[in-house]
Amino acid sequence: MMPIVLLTLSNVFMTVAWYGHLRFKDSPLHWVILISWGIAFFEYCLQVPANRMGYGPYSAAQLKTIQEVISLSVFSLFSVLYLKEKLSLHQLGGFALIALGAYLVFRK
């Protein structure tokens, strides 16, 4: 369970690093890049241990799949709550297809 918790927290940091600046378009790009790198450092401090702990109980493909599903979930919430964007039915359908892919990766 701990790898999933760490992957979730790491995705929060990465989503903020990659997309948080979109509300601050007037900020100089070089500052945005430096701040994003600083935030991404904390993402790595969570992601790397999550993968180390999770590898064994999960295969590498399963870890990556977990990370991608978490990433889409975190991004969806971030997009709606922070960026104030609506998710379309097409986007939700695409996410559902990715979830189906995740199901197939874990299917015995």
Domain ranges of the chain: 2-106
pLDDT given at position 59? 94
- For the chain, the average pLDDT equals 94
Give the whole-angstrom CA distance, residue 35 versus residue 39. Answer: 6
Q: Encode pLDDT of 41-87 as tens digits.
A: 999 999 999 999 999 999 999 999 999 999 999 999 999 999 999 99
Does pLDDT of 107 surpass 90? no
pTM here? 0.85
| pLDDT the model gives residue 6 | 97
Instruction: Give the residue carrying structure tokens 């998710």.
Output: 87
Distance from C-alpha of 97 to C-alpha of 91, rounded to nearest angstrom: 10
Task: Give dist(CA 39, CA 33) in Å, integer.
Answer: 10
Rounded to a whole number, what is the largest CA-CA distance in the chain? 50
In eight-state DSSP terms, residue 48 is H
Could you tell me how many residues make up the chain?
A: 108
Alpha carbon 8 to its chain centroid, in Å, reads 7
**Backbone Cα Rg of the chain:** 15
